[in-house]
Structure 1
Amino acid sequence: MTKEEAHQEIAELTKKINYYNEQYYLHDTSEISDYEFDMLLEKLIKLEDQFPEYKYPDSPSQRVGGTVTKAFDTVYHKTPMLSLSNSYSKEELEDFDRRVAKGLQGQSYEYFCELKFDGVALSLTYENGVLVRGVTRGDGVRGDDITNNVKTIRSIPLRLKGDYPLEFEARGEAFMPNHVFVRLNKDRIEVGEEPYANARNTTSGTLKMQDSAAVAKRKLDCYLYSMAGENIGVKTHSEAIEKLIKLGFNVSKTFRKCTNIGEVLDYINEWEHKRLELPLITDGIVIKVNSIAQQEQLGFTAKSPRWAMAYKYKSENAVTTLKGITYQVGRTGAITPVAELEPVLLAGTTVKRASLHNANEIQRLDLRVGDMVFVEKGGEIIPKVTGVDLTARTPELKPVNYIKRCPACGSELDRYEGEAVHYCRNTKGCPPQIKGRIEHFIQRKAMDINSLGERTIHLLYEKGLVKSPADLYDLSFDDVYQLEGFKELSSNNLLKGIELSKDTPFANVLFALGIRYVGKTVAEKLASHFKNIDNIIVADFDTLIAVPEIGERIASSIIRFFEDPSNVEEVERLKAAGVSMEVAESENTQVSDVLEGKTFVISGVFDNYSRDELKAAIQDHGGKVISAISGRLDYLVAGDKMGPAKREKAEQLGVNIISEAEFDALIK
């Protein structure tokens, strides 16, 4: 492909991807499948790697991340991002309205109302229609430059359409949609990690991650709610909102213009319960004087504008009786206490159970069975007990004594240093742990045995046919056929699904083993580095933490797992059954081992290689390409247009910096 052809193809792919992205995120329309979209994006990325001179800052390829930022620069906001005064009652809003009327000295005015989203405030600067900077609110005067992370949020346009100001700021709220937060916590629980407390804090932590590729996987979203800058061509806030929509920004369509404070109160009442149907957390309403000229006339206090106020909804809670506490046992043996409640209506649903997290939380709340307890929905998603009505407590109620033995098998519980959670130590004989490990093993992201399910696993366990994942591969037709509800076809389908799983890639198998803290991404890193299970089993601590993104906690967990002879035996049984325990190499392209054990980072543009070709050349000679510069790196291969920061860091760490010609000399 010539440069001209590549340039044209990149332009066409960019146009298509931007169109499909806009249809999906702004208009809720999927014109192509996720797979087709990913293939277009992958094609674009490959072309940009081959012709880096046509990779522009607003390319859709920026959405996948990959840039690592070790420290975020501080940026001063041109216009301060002040916080709003809060009100919690109708009377306070009426007082605010009287102050506005007094400040405007008899002028007529109107309000603009919008929902207050519980996320992280961002300032996005656009120059000539292109996103050049994304900054957190920080202290309102200055924030952190997180541009690379902001670019991964697909609803934020990298290039604007229509008639845009030459330079301006768009301000909005980044958030994690409810379904993403729930799925993320489910994934964390699966690998034995504590779930996150709420979506807002998780969003904040995500935006400050160093690896933008990790941010991209979190699937954050953003609603825009204001413009700032000179000569932006609007006279009212409502005009600014309409302009944001026309420019291609994601704006929540829940706003309303109100002619008086009575209509504002109607809007607040309307959304008090309706907001619970939205895909994100809201905690109130923002009321603004609509006219920008009037906003300027009203001015600011030292901390907040006089022309705006936030009305905060009271956290919806209920009072009900704590009937008891039950204890759930997870796949990793983690014990989770659950409050059993007298059913109560809360945020539109009937709540019968609520999380108590761990023994520390029960002690902090000083819970007693029979107490009248306050229940809220944490982030309005997960019910939790937040307190006790001590005025209703009667003398006969006794403090809760946290269990010392597993509720499922009676084994003693352990509590590891530095952790709040108790664990059942009977990992091989505790029924919930056994069934949980098998359920984890067969899930889609692991072995993907979709002919098996929770009910069937329970039946197999109760019959004594399956007590570990390896037992699945010993099942016969007669074993399955005897199960309740199984006929010839369903029995054969189940066995066929188990047989097909033997071809599952090694990274999936490694995840399926259920090693604590080894999620899907970590399993992929380990499989790529070690190539087979035997190398992982014998790896020591230093060898493990030398793998990019494998920290001390993960390394220690892997070592503990394989120190248990029964786990090694399980691996050998799976291997004997034909389950893939090594990376399948389609062909061996290695031509020498001259770079064996050496690590490389590639940066810049090269004369004789595309980036993919250079990476392949390194691997062909036994070397390894990694993404980040560290003291363990052997070589930085520097091409034209390499960023000065990488060179400076490599020099500080004493890393060998070599040119394309010097690399050729190494392999020849």
Structure 2
Amino acid sequence: MDLQLAEKRVKELHKLLNQYNYEYHVLDQPSIPDSDYDRLLKQLLEIEEQFPELTTADSPTQRVGSEILDMFEKVQHQSQMLSLGNAFNEQDVLDFDRRVRQLAGENVSYVCELKIDGLAVSLRYENGLFNLGATRGDGTTGENITANLRTIRSIPIRLNREVSMEVRGEAFMPKRSFEALNLQKAEKGEEAFANPRNAAAGSLRQLDPRIAASRNLDVFLYSVADIGETGVASHSDALNLLDTLGFKTNKERKKCENIEEVLAYIQKWTEERPNLPYEIDGIVIKVDSLKQQQELGTTAKSPRWAIAYKFPAEEVVTTLTGIELSVGRTGVITPTAILEPVRVAGTTVQRASLHNEDLIREKDIKIGDQVVVKKAGDIIPEVVNVLVDRRTGEEVDFHMPTHCLECNSELVRLDGEVALRCINPKCPAQIREGLIHFVSRTAMNIDGLGEKVISQLFKENLIQDVADIYKLTYEQLIQLERMGEKSATNLLQAIEASKVNSLERLLFGLGIRHVGAKAAKTLAQQFEHIDHLMDADYEQLTAINEIGEKMADSIVSYFGQEEAIALMNELKAVGVNLIYTGPKLVLIENSASIFAGKTVVLTGKLERIKRNDAKEKIESLGGNVAGSVSKKTDIVIAGEEAGSKLTKAQELGIEIWDEERLVEELNL
């Protein structure tokens, strides 16, 4: 066969194999036997071996790469992957519907979808070719797992049209694949996976794509990241578009014209859930109209136009064999129930948080009790109640200690708090937990530096504060248990890479009391450099819209310590970035912008500027863009077909602009 004939045959085989793959893995309607598919694939492999130049990235032979990765690189999502708020009962769903109709009007329809219990992924296509796949990560930045996602046969390598887009979905392990995998592990004497979700996540985070390929994973796609480029007007239309492009979507979805139909859908799948060939942990409810979705907007974490109904938690009975205490990074002493191992909602549970001493007293919990256990939201194990009638008289009362288990300092209960707390700033447990928090994904995000490694480093006296992390050497790391040459090198690279993080990550990582991730970003945007924040006084801090009195006190107190000043100097010396590198804000006190310090709400359709662009520009000028109208709203910008938000603004006497005024103020 010459090159010209080979090229022609390769194109034919690509088309045939992609079609057969789609029929088998997406439609579940194979038109040829497996043996015929294998024969054609073998023929393609032979041609590619003879003519290597004909091997392309979208070839069906390239589903499984042989190259083992060193580590997963970080990638930015084109738009944020938000998490969903939760509903746990019918009233929560009705409340969600009421809030939606208050803001979007009475004429609202929903799309209900099964909530697949897997791993959220983002897939990016350029001119119809799959070129990047990533985990959700923190919603803004994920990990590049393209090589592993290519092994999932239901993910198309090439679409039916040459479009460029980013789509979102859930990768999962079918029940049949999960059972087969755990059978293999049992035969090898290895520990079984607890549930299909963990198995899917573990498979997709393997550095060797051949492992992921052997696990028989699947995927359902459920959204388009930038819907504005597609021309569709509803979520249901977007799902249909995904179907036409060759993606696999879940066909059990349903468009519901009212909340009663939504509740009926929930009831149906609560009953039929066990019959599905894959695990689901709830129902996702989304407003269908994209226009209404835009009007409803989002909070910092989740969209207001969607919610996840979680199935009622499974409850089981087991024995509480003991209560273990731990010291957190803020000094809080937390009791944890030690349980006889029991299966709950798909995993084996041996521990459950008891939160504090008051809860133990309130529920009359004794060591040796028979207790009812469930998973709150199908995730966090908790003790529901004690089966008092099963007591034998051998149960033992539990008493909280008077002194810290780690440093022996006297424990205190601060005014207004129920928790016992160790207030010794040099308590080893608090230092260790603070270090673990500093390197976590939502803070400095240092890959490979997890709880076990931090604990080893702390125990060996190699790190005592966060600055010490940046002084670690290869020779120190290689001495640690289970730390190989490659792992040590990768860890040092990850530590070095974290130095360039924007200031808000460092601020959150420092663990200043009351300062969460959102407040850290606000502070970083306002002050831009750590030195400016360190010099800020109480009045300057409380002048910021989102900074309250307790937080301001905590910040002033933290940076008033000599130890904190010394730590900032150490971080400077080792090259850690102390500057905010995100979108700039004009400081409120110096700003001539009309938006400075104002809360703004956008509603209706804007013709001359995209809503997200308007939001970014307003925030860059010191404004705060909110999703709903309240007494704290200063300006409402009303575009075409503005609805209930405009009405509410008029009722409250809030200043209202049209789009022309907005464009004028933004100098567009």
Q: Which residue of 2 aligns with 1:399?
A: 397
Q: Which residue of 1 aligns with 2:4?
A: none
Q: Distance in 2 between matches of 1:358 and 1:497?
A: 37
For structure 1, which runs of at least 5 residues remain unmatched after alignment?
A: 1-24, 28-34, 43-60, 66-116, 123-134, 152-157, 159-166, 188-216, 218-241, 257-266, 283-311
RMSD of equivalent CA atoms: 5.9
Q: Which residue of 2 aligns with 1:411?
A: 409
After superposition, residues 264-663 of structure 1 pair within 5 angstroms as 278-280=279-281, 316-320=315-319, 322-343=320-341, 350-369=348-367, 371-379=368-376, 381=379, 382-384=381-383, 386-390=385-389, 392-394=391-393, 399-431=397-429, 433-486=430-483, 488-584=485-581, 594-595=592-593, 599=598, 601=600, 603=602, 624=623, 626-627=625-626, 645-646=645-646, 649=649, 652=652
Matched residues, number: 442
Q: Distance in 2 between matches of 1:496 and 1:178?
A: 30
Asked if 1:144 is matched to 2:115, the reply is no
Tell me the SS of whatever aligns to 1:518: coil
Superposed displacement of residue 327, structure 1: 0.6
Q: Which residue of 2 aligns with 1:78?
A: none
> Which amino acid is the alignment partner of residue 279 of structure 1?
I
> Which amino acid is the alignment partner of residue 389 of structure 1?
V
Q: Distance in 1 between matches of 2:382 and 2:637?
A: 53
Superposed displacement of residue 660, structure 1: 5.0
1:554-589 deviation per Cα after TM superposition (whole angstroms, max 9, x unaligned) = 445434433444234323322332212221379999
Change (3 A) 1:504 1:521: same
Contact 2:113 2:252 in 1 (8 A): no
Tell me the SS of whatever aligns to 1:336: strand
Percent of paired sites with the same residue? 29
Tell me the SS of whatever aligns to 2:490: helix
Superposed displacement of residue 593, structure 1: 5.8
Residue range with higher mean Cα deviation, 638-647 or 242-251: 242-251
Tell me the SS of whatever aligns to 2:492: helix
Q: Distance in 2 between matches of 1:345 and 1:611?
A: 47
Contact 1:631 1:655 in 2 (8 A): no
Contact 1:338 1:356 in 2 (8 A): yes
Contact 1:136 1:143 in 2 (8 A): yes
Q: Distance in 1 between matches of 2:109 and 2:375?
A: 33
Q: Distance in 1 between matches of 2:661 and 2:593?
A: 16
Q: Distance in 2 between matches of 1:589 and 1:364?
A: 50
Change (3 A) 1:392 1:243: closer
Change (3 A) 1:436 1:357: same
Contact 2:598 2:633 in 1 (8 A): yes
> Which amino acid is the alignment partner of residue 581 of structure 1?
L
> Which amino acid is the alignment partner of residue 144 of structure 1?
R
Q: Distance in 2 between matches of 1:473 and 1:243?
A: 51
Change (3 A) 1:168 1:540: closer
Tell me the SS of whatever aligns to 2:398: coil
Change (3 A) 1:149 1:436: farther
Q: Distance in 2 between matches of 1:121 and 1:278?
A: 22
Tell me the SS of whatever aligns to 2:408: coil
Superposed displacement of residue 461, structure 1: 1.1
TM-score of the superposed pair, with normalisation by structure 2: 0.51
> Which amino acid is the alignment partner of residue 391 of structure 2?
A
Q: Distance in 1 between matches of 2:666 and 2:573?
A: 42
Tell me the SS of whatever aligns to 2:280: coil
Superposed displacement of residue 374, structure 1: 1.9
Q: Distance in 1 between matches of 2:580 and 2:328?
A: 30
Q: Distance in 1 between matches of 2:99 and 2:480?
A: 59
Tell me the SS of whatever aligns to 2:412: strand
Change (3 A) 1:279 1:542: farther
1:263-318 deviation per Cα after TM superposition (whole angstroms, max 9, x unaligned) = xxxx98x97x8899843269xxxxxxxxxxxxxxxxxxxxxxxxxxxxx9996432
Superposed displacement of residue 469, structure 1: 1.0
> Which amino acid is the alignment partner of residue 555 of structure 2?
I
Specify the structure having the higher radius of gyration (Cα).
Answer: 1
Q: Distance in 2 between matches of 1:530 and 1:388?
A: 55
> Which amino acid is the alignment partner of residue 374 of structure 1?
V
Tell me the SS of whatever aligns to 2:470: helix
TM-score of the superposed pair, with normalisation by structure 1: 0.51
> Which amino acid is the alignment partner of residue 353 of structure 2?
S
Change (3 A) 1:610 1:276: closer
Contact 2:499 2:576 in 1 (8 A): yes
Superposed displacement of residue 613, structure 1: 7.4
Tell me the SS of whatever aligns to 1:340: strand
Contact 1:527 1:583 in 2 (8 A): yes
Contact 1:336 1:358 in 2 (8 A): yes
Q: Which residue of 1 aligns with 2:151?
A: none
Contact 2:638 2:646 in 1 (8 A): no
> Which amino acid is the alignment partner of residue 146 of structure 1?
V
> Which amino acid is the alignment partner of residue 398 of structure 2?
V
Superposed displacement of residue 462, structure 1: 1.6
Tell me the SS of whatever aligns to 2:626: coil
Change (3 A) 1:529 1:343: same
> Which amino acid is the alignment partner of residue 336 of structure 1?
T
After superposition, residues 85-100 of structure 1 pair within 5 angstroms as none
Q: Distance in 1 between matches of 2:619 and 2:555?
A: 27
For structure 2, which runs of at least 5 residues remain unmatched after alignment?
A: 1-25, 29-73, 121-135, 140-224, 226-250, 284-310
Contact 2:638 2:659 in 1 (8 A): yes
Q: Which residue of 1 aligns with 2:183?
A: none
Q: Distance in 2 between matches of 1:540 and 1:176?
A: 48
Tell me the SS of whatever aligns to 2:498: helix
Q: Distance in 2 between matches of 1:587 and 1:571?
A: 22
Contact 1:637 1:660 in 2 (8 A): no
> Which amino acid is the alignment partner of residue 337 of structure 2?
A
After superposition, residues 214-225 of structure 1 pair within 5 angstroms as none
Tell me the SS of whatever aligns to 2:421: strand
Tell me the SS of whatever aligns to 1:503: coil
After superposition, residues 122-133 of structure 1 pair within 5 angstroms as none
1:464-503 deviation per Cα after TM superposition (whole angstroms, max 9, x unaligned) = 1101111111223433344344455544433232222111
Contact 1:179 1:279 in 2 (8 A): no
1:74-132 deviation per Cα after TM superposition (whole angstroms, max 9, x unaligned) = xxxxxxxxxxxxxxxxxxxxxxxxxxxxxxxxxxxxxxxxxxx983448xxxxxxxxxx
